[in-house]
Amino acid sequence: DVKVTQSSRYLVKRTGEKVFLECVQDMDHENMFWYRQDPGLGLRLIYFSYDVKMKEKGDIPEGYSVSREKKERFSLILESASTNQTSMYLCASSSAGLGPHYSYNEQFFGPGTRLTVL
């Protein structure tokens, strides 16, 4: 059974703290993603990684950084948490499939981390 796991389901942090959200997948997928989910806005892509140590900014990267030292693990870092980063954070992974020009690769999602910044 394929699996994407996230380190915490619920997290409460203080403004200014450094926060680490961890994601691990067991499917040997090349691609990994971090999204935030907010009511009325759907999912918005924060960062994307297509290989170890490779990353690409998504639509809302400000205030976030990422790390991918191993293929199975993708970390999202909030350098100095702020109240407007209170949200649900979802990690996903997908295969590179048949190659870079293959236009469809299903993304598999973790259960999410609900982060509250006070």
Residues that bind another protein (CB under 8 A): 4, 31, 33, 40-45, 48, 50, 58, 90, 92, 94, 96-97, 100-112
82 versus 98: smaller Cβ distance to another protein: 98
Give the integer Cα–Cα distance in Å for 49 and 11. 24
Minimum CB–partner distance for residue 21 and another protein (Å): 14
5 versus 82: smaller Cβ distance to another protein: 5
18 versus 99: smaller Cβ distance to another protein: 99
Residue 24's φ and ψ, nearest 5 degrees, are: -130, 135
Going by C-alpha positions, the residue among 67, 72, 76 that lies closest to residue 112 is: 76
DSSP bridge partners of 4? 25
Minimum CB–partner distance for residue 16 and another protein (Å): 29
Give the integer Cα–Cα distance in Å for 56 and 81. 21
